């Protein structure tokens, strides 16, 4: 029996309503309803009486509630004792710009509930390192965007996002439904730092322009578009300053928000972080 689903069950029982329990658990209602149905199917009994106003426990559900509360309390005590015996654990998470925000608070709350005693440090990388410190060994695990050279690195996709060109709102192309690569061929582009990942550079920039100053952050790139009328590529949902728009580019493959870690495996804590990240986005 999955302890996670038992926690879901206790939340629904406590709230008396699946929607309120889903909000408390930082998840959407459909996967929570499926989890409760799965638990009922596994036990072969109905656990809740369902009405338009909410849910109440059946006799079988009341028994499970008592037993589950005791079992999860013991599991929490067991975890606390084991963690205390192992000393203070640390995890360094690399992030690239807004990649961590794309996963949202669900990851933080779920990881903290699973590992309340872990000391988490955040390393924010600039656009010169798409692995957000993973390649250089500065971090244990990273939340970043593709594409980049993933040699020696494992990745799991969390969210796929279309990518477009960032233009000033008064640009002639700004009102187009989409633009072709040919329409952008003669444009000036922001310049990323030299000597970085060629896979990353080829995807996120246009023709190199040595006359352009190097830009190292997303905000520097956006401000260069706003002030100087150059072009930049960005996810379609990128928050923009007033005066800028994102226009889809024909034929451009989407980028993915991913969790990445060393292909050599990483620690149990890293594997747990990856599992929580994938679970958090899927619900």
- pLDDT tens per residue, range 204-237: 998 878 889 999 999 999 999 999 999 999 999 8
Alpha-carbon distance 158 to 100, whole Å?
11
The whole-number pLDDT of residue 1 equals 78
Q: What is the pTM of this model?
A: 0.69
Alpha-carbon distance 56 to 46, whole Å?
11
pLDDT tier, 96 (very low <50, low <70, confident <90, very high otherwise): confident
The residues pairing with 189 across neighbouring beta strands, listed in sequence order, are 231
Look up residue 161 and give its two tokens: 């996002």
Closest among 146, 144, 147 to 102, alpha carbons compared: 144
Question: Is the pLDDT confidence value at 91 over 80?
Answer: yes
Maximal C-alpha separation, the chain = 75
- pLDDT tens per residue, range 178-188: 999 999 999 99
Alpha-carbon distance 99 to 127, whole Å?
12
Alpha-carbon distance 211 to 78, whole Å?
61
Within 16-170, residue ranges assigned H as helices are 18-24, 29-43, 59-86, 99-103, 105-114
Q: At what angle do helices 3-15 and 59-86 cross, to 10 degrees?
A: 130
- pLDDT tens per residue, range 30-53: 999 999 999 999 999 999 999 988
Per-residue b/e over 194-205, b at no fewer than 16 CB within 10 Å? eebbeebbebbb
90-96 and 141-145 as β-strands: parallel, antiparallel, unpaired? parallel
Q: Which domains does the chain have, with CATH numbers?
A: 3-86 (1.10.10.10), 90-160+256-282 (3.40.190.10), 163-252 (3.40.190.10)
Cα three-residue angle 99-132-90, rounded to 5 degrees? 95
Mean pLDDT of 155-166: 94
Instruction: Provide the percentage of residues in the chain whose pLDDT is more than 90.
Output: 68
232-235 and 153-161 as β-strands: parallel, antiparallel, unpaired? unpaired
The whole-number pLDDT of residue 206 equals 87
Dihedral (Cα; 269, 275, 281, 282), 10-degree rounding: -160
Tokens 């024909």 sit at which residue?
250
pLDDT tier, 76 (very low <50, low <70, confident <90, very high otherwise): confident
Mean pLDDT, the chain, whole residue set: 90
Question: Is the pLDDT confidence value at 56 over 80?
Answer: yes
pLDDT tier, 100 (very low <50, low <70, confident <90, very high otherwise): low
Question: Is the pLDDT confidence value at 157 over 60?
Answer: yes
């Amino acid at each position: 029996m999955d302890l996670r689903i038992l926690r879901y069950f206790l939340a629904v029982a406590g709230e008396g309503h699946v929607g309120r329990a889903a909000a408390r658990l930082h998840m959407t209602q459909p996967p929570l309803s499926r989890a409760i149905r799965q638990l009922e199917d596994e036990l072969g009994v109905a656990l809740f009486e369902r009405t338009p106003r909410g849910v109440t426990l059946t006799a079988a559900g009341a028994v499970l509630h008592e037993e589950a509360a005791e079992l999860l309390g013991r599991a929490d005590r067991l975890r606390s004792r084991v963690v205390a015996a192992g000393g203070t654990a640390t995890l360094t998470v690399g992030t690239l710009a807004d990649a961590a925000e794309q996963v949202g608070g669900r990851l933080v709350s779920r990881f903290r509930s699973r590992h309340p005693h872990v000391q988490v440090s955040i390393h924010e990388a600039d656009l010169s390192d798409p692995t957000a410190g993973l390649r250089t060994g500065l971090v244990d695990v990273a939340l970043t965007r593709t594409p980049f050279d993933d040699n020696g690195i494992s990745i799991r996709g969390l969210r796929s996002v279309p990518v477009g060109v960032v233009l000033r709102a008064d640009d002639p192309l700004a009102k187009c439904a989409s633009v072709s690569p040919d329409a952008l061929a003669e444009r000036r582009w922001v310049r990323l730092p030299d000597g970085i990942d060629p896979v990353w550079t080829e995807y996120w920039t246009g023709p190199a322009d040595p006359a352009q100053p190097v830009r190292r952050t997303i905000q520097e790139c956006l401000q260069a578009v706003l002030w100087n009328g150059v072009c930049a590529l960005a996810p379609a949902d990128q928050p923009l300053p007033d005066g800028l728009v994102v226009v889809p580019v024909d034929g451009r493959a989407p980028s993915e928000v991913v969790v990445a870690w060393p292909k050599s495996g990483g620690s149990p804590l890293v594997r747990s972080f990856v599992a929580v990240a994938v679970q958090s986005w899927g619900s």
